[in-house]
Structures are given as structure tokens and as C-alpha cells.
Structure 1
Amino acid sequence: MATPIPPIDDSHTKTDDMRLEIFCLIWLDANANVEENRNTEQRLHSIINRLMKFQDIKQCQKYIEERSQKDRLVMIVNGRLGREIVPSIHKLRQVIAIYVYCMDKTSNEQWARKFPKVKAVVVELDELVSRIRADQKIQKMIEEPFSINIFTA
């Protein structure tokens, strides 16, 4: 299943909502917990601090839909599950980027073309990490509030 998620309540006092980090990486894949992905997981943590792993598409979609529109969600999904979930979450404001990690790049690129938030379809974990790192540098510059230092003016 997925990593533990705190129960959702309407009081909005969840620790999830009290954090300063607005970026969250969501990894939806039936094989997300396999040993070969552990190293990749650590590398991804160095890019985006919060990582949520899901193996169940319904739990993942529920988690995404319940996030604040102020959150910025980056998603990794395999090709099969991506075909199912991407059409229903693509228009959500909180979803800013989707990366498809798969074995069949050609067929997954065909369906992914319809969705501008799909930033890459990759078959190698190293390429996946590199793309997320590069895109996230740009995204942080866009999302971070501008600060003005009156002493340097």
C-alpha cells in the first residue's frame, strides 16, 4: 500500500498544512517500494524534501485532490497507472509537473502528449532524477516569493 497518511479532518490542523515546504513529490507505482528504487528515493529527497509513495491509484488521487491549491505537487507515475490518473488530476492547480517512468517510452509518449504538465517520459532512473532536479531549480525560482533588501538599494 502507501506510506502512512495522517487522517484527514476538516479542522485543517494537520501537520501537513502547517509545514513551510510547499513542494511534495508523489511517486505512484506498484513497484515503488522495490529495493532498486531506494537509492533513487534518497536522490529525490535531496531535490524535494517531502516524498509520498503510493501503490494504490485511488489513495493517490484522493491525497492529491485533498491538497491545498497552494501546494506544488510533482508526480512520478508508471505508464499504466499514468494513463488512468493523469487525465483526472492534470487540471488541478496543485499538480505542477508529471514524470512518466516506464519501460515503453514510445507508446507512453503518445498518450502523454495530450497533457502539457507531463514534462518527460523516461526509461532510466538517472534521467528521471536529472530532469526533476533541473526542472525543480527553475520551479523554485518561480515559486519563491521575491524579497527586497532595502540595504542594497
Structure 2
Amino acid sequence: MRLDISCIIWLDANVNTNETRNAEQKLISIINHFEKFQDKGQCQKYIEKRSEKDRLVIVVSGQLGKEIVPSVHNLQQVMSIYVYCMNKEINEQWACRFVKVKGVVVQLDELISRITTDHNIQKTMKGPLSTTTVTAHADT
């Protein structure tokens, strides 16, 4: 079942790892559009250009999250933010100031479970989904 989320945006300097690809494969089964970014500026521009009617879920690394979350947190199209990091305690210190940050997690399975669980009350997307889009944005 696909959830009523327009897109998952994953921002991480190391976004093209096997672990990220594994998460992408699991999440693409519930959300039809997945965007990957390594560059904070490109990611922020992409988020800001999206319609306010879109429902975006952002997954971000700890350091990049600390930099981008204050800039995008109040945008209407940002539904929720998850910080996927190696040091939960340090990242919870800054993340707790933002209500859209739904979790700071260190385990991939926990991240996927949280995204699915936190949004399973959303209505399923209307109509058949004919395509799934995955886009990677690399530094140039």
C-alpha cells in the first residue's frame, strides 16, 4: 500500500551507499517518488520549488540536517523530517527544537519502520501509479 506522501527526499553526503540503496528499495514500495541529494543547496532549492500541496518526507544525515532543517522546517510542503545518523544523542540536542522532526535514528530498519508507521494513517494515493521515479543528484 502506498502512503499519501508525494516524495521522500534523502540528503546525505554519502547517499549512494549500499545501505541507502537498500532503504530506497524498501521505501519505494510505499512511496512512489524518491529523490537523493548530496548537496544541501540543491536539495533546499528542490524542496522550495515543490508545491505547497505536495507532502514531502525528508531523511537527512546529522550534520546536513543541522544545516538544512532550520531553513525548510516551516515550509508547508514538508510533512516530516527524520534524522538518520551515527550519533543519536548529539543530533537529538538540535533536532528537538523542530516539531516536524519525527525521529533521530541510527538503525536503517528503525528508520523505515518509523516512516511507515508514522504515516500509515494517511489516505492512500488516489488512482493507479504508473511509474516510480528515482533521481540521484551528484555534486558537479
TM, length-normalised to structure 2:
0.83
Question: Structure 1 CA distance, aligned partners of 2:67 and 2:113?
Answer: 25
Higher relative contact order (CA 8 A, sep 6+): 2
Structure 2 gaps of 5+ residues are: 127-140
- Find the residue that maps to 2:41 and give its secondary structure: helix
Runs of 4+ in 1 over 4 A off after TM superposition: none
Match of residue 96 from structure 2: 113
Is the aligned partner of 1:78 residue 2:78? no
* Structure 1 residue 144 displacement after superposition: 6.7
C-alpha distance after superposition, 1:4-62 (max 9, x if no partner): xxxxxxxxxxxxxxxxx751000000111112222111001012110000000000000
TM-aligned CA deviation for residue 125 of structure 1? 0.2
Larger Rg: 1
What percent of counterpart residues are identical? 63
Q: Is residue 91 of structure 2 the alignment partner of residue 103 of structure 1?
A: no
Matched, 1:123 2:86: no
Which residue among 39, 61, 64 is the counterpart of 2:44?
61
**Correspondence 1:46-57 to 2 at 5 A:** 46-57=29-40
Judged with a 3 Å threshold, the aligned counterparts in structure 2 of structure 1 residues 132 and 68 are, in CA distance, closer, same or farther, namely same
Identify the residue that residue 72 of structure 2 maps to in structure 1: 89
- 1:150 corresponding residue in structure 2: none
The two structures have a TM-score, normalised by structure 1, of 0.76
Alignment counterpart, residue 44 of structure 1, candidates 27, 34, 38 = 27
- Mapped to 2, the partners of 1:34 and 1:53 lie a distance apart of 11
Which letter maps to 1:87? P
> Gaps (5+ residues) in structure 1?
1-20, 146-153
Partner of 1:15: none
